[in-house]
Chain A
Amino acid sequence: MSIEQGLSFDHEFTLQELLTGVNVDKLLQALTHNLESSVRILNVKKQCLFEAQLNATESTGTVNKTALYGELEPIGFIEACATPDSLQSAAQLIQLILYSNSRYLMASDIHIKTQRDDFEELQRRHAALEISETKYKQLAESLDVRVKQQIKTIESAQLKLYESEKLASVGRLAAGVAHEINNPLTPIEMMVSNLSRVYLNADPKSFKENLNETTSVVSEEVYKLKEMVSHFSQFAKLPEPVLKEANIAEYCERFITQHQNGWPVVKFRVLTENDVKNINVKIDHLLINQCLINIINNAVQANPTKDTLQISMSLKCENSAEISMVLFNDGVKIDNKTQKHIFKMHYSSKKSAENMGLGLAIVKKILLDHNGDIICLPLDKGAAFKINLPISERLND
């Protein structure tokens, strides 16, 4: 195709080109037969392109030539021993063939050109898309790297915060412990050091009274010290939870039945929403019991003057992964200042509403070990804690 040589589809075709694909032998055969002569086909420069002999003998008569026309001008000649009229009609026939062929050649050239152009356009767009895609891939990768870095930074910051918080907790605990241990030691020391002085200076009756008094004070204070040690041990010895499945609603009912007698002043109520009735959680019964005991003990101790303390346990599905249990009592409220620190480890033996000791720190630790959590709910009347526990599976109805 001429298009391959860089020629336009509408360039001037030569006679040679216009005969592409035409069976020239057959054509010449027909021509020689019709014109009864040997025939020569010449190009526009009158050079011979094709020729055919009729038979071995040379024909006689004048050789005539007539032009073959392309679009408007001659593009070649046909030469034979024939009359001008016969040659003319032969030329007409040949021109019809050439015309027909030129249609095909032009159409195919333009077709190839358009195919090529379309393909180039396609490739260009494809290349642009690839560049775009690469850019976005790189962007995504760099974003990914940055996000990962951010996560690392945040994690390390969180870790630092956690560590410093832990240290602070331990510091507070140690300070509290030191202070508290000191308290019982003062009266013990006073009584004991006074004892020998009385023995030496006073009458036996006074000494006996003093001895009784000393024994009484020392035992009481030693008892307090032992209580402290026991609480610390409890916190230090907290075991890893051994999880067993339990229906949360049934568990709560059972707990109340088992422990009601320990708190005669408490009136318990369990409220379950429908969606939580069939929910199971995985819990260590003993540890969760301890949590509830600590919380309820706090409530009872904080309300020593109440005849009846109403405690309700409200159960519901928090979301598809957790249940929540809200423990509410209608006693004194927990003031805002206390709420902030309520789960932190601090210890005090003074019996007043703020001093919960290690009890709630223990509760928090147990629940975190269960992949749950506990928060103190801010209320104007009464006090409430919300416990979250992960759902293990849903029983089908």
Chain B
Amino acid sequence: MTDKHIIVIDDEVNICRSIKACLLPEGYIVSDFCDAQLALKSMQTHDYDMAIIDIRLGQQCGIELFKQII
């Protein structure tokens, strides 16, 4: 059991669910978001150890989001 916190960002909700379903049995804590703004907001208050981001997020660009995180 680890307590690493992973954030998953993809505008397809079922992709998020699939990734979450794969990671949860490994003991990770997974938070998933379909909207980039909500994800950013969450990152201000929570500390994440890893982020899995879809490159194309509907209206927004995943790479941009990445830059913002850094």
Contact = CB atoms under 8 A, between A and B. Distances in A.
B4 interface: no
Contacts of B18: 186-187, 190-191, 194, 217
B63 interface: no
Contact of A187 (B12, B24, B25, B58): B12
Interface stretch (A29-37, A81-89, A196-204): A196-204
Interface of B: 12, 14-15, 17-19, 21-22, 24-25, 58
A214 interface: yes
A206 B22 contact: no
Interface of A: 183-184, 186-187, 190-191, 194, 197-198, 201-202, 206, 210, 213-214, 216-217, 220-221, 350, 352
B27 to A, nearest CB: 10
Contact of A210 (B14, B21, B58): B21
A57 B25 CA distance: 172
Contacts of B19: 190
27 contacts: A186-B15, A187-B14, A187-B15, A187-B17, A190-B18, A190-B19, A190-B22, A191-B18, A194-B21, A197-B25, A198-B25, A201-B25, A202-B25, A210-B21, A210-B25, A213-B17, A213-B21, A214-B21, A216-B17, A217-B14, A217-B17, A217-B18, A217-B21, A220-B14, A221-B14, A350-B58, A352-B58
A201 B17 CA distance: 19
Majority-rule SS of A interface residues? helix
Of B17, B25, B58, most buried by chain A (CB within 10 Å of CB) is B25
Of A187, A350, A352, most buried by chain B (CB within 10 Å of CB) is A187
A194 B15 CA distance: 13
Of B14, B15, B17, B19, most buried by chain A (CB within 10 Å of CB) is B14
A94 B47 CA distance: 154
Given A187-B15, A202-B25, 5 more contacts: A186-B15, A186-B18, A191-B18, A191-B21, A214-B21
A221 B12 CA distance: 11
Contacts of A194: 18, 21-22, 25
Nearest to A214: B21
A352 B19 CA distance: 25
Contacts of A206: 24-25
A187 B16 CA distance: 9
Contacts of B12: 183, 187
B54 to A, nearest CB: 11
A213 B17 CA distance: 8
Contacts of A197: 25
Contacts of B17: 187, 191, 213, 216-217
Contacts of A186: 15, 18
B31 to A, nearest CB: 16
B58 to A, nearest CB: 8
Nearest to A197: B25
